Amino acid sequence: MWDRFANGKRDFTDGPYNIQNPEDFFKDSFYNYGFNPEVGSVGFPIAATIRATMPQEGWQIPIFTKLSDGYVEEVSNLVWTYHKYIPYSNPGTIHDQIELYGKAKDLDDFYEKAQLVNYIQYRALLEGRTSRI
C-alpha cells in the first residue's frame, strides 16, 4: 500500500467531497483504496454566519428545479457560487438531500435541514469506513 502511495505516480485517490447517498458509504465499491488521505462531504454554516458575512443577496437559498427525470437541480445565488457552494444534490445520481425533509422556505429553514443532512452524511461516512476495519 505505502509503496503505491509514495511512488509519485498518484496510485491513490482522495475525495469524494460532494454529496453522496448515505448508503453508498457502506458499499464495497465506495472506497477504491485502503488508504485515502482525504474524504469529506458538503457543509453549510449557520444562518447567522451567512447574514453576518455576506451581503443581503447572499441570504437567498438555492432555487430548486425539478428535472424531467425526477431529480432536483440546485442553482445557488452568485455569492454562494463565488464561495464554491456545493449542492446537496447531484442530478442523475443523487436526489436532493435537503428536499428529503421538505421544501426549504427560507434561509433558517434551509440551514436547519442542511445541518441534519450534514450530520447524516458524516455519520454514514464514519460508520461506513469503520465497518471496513
Percent of the chain with pLDDT over 70: 85
pLDDT tens track for 4-40: 555 566 666 667 788 999 999 898 888 766 656 677 7
Question: Mind listing the pLDDT tens digit for each residue in 107-116?
Answer: 999 999 999 9
Residue 32: left if φ>0, alpha if ψ -120 to 50, beta else—which one?
alpha
Mean pLDDT of the chain: 87
Is pLDDT at 105 greater than 70 in this prediction? yes
Distance CA 82, CA 25 (A): 29
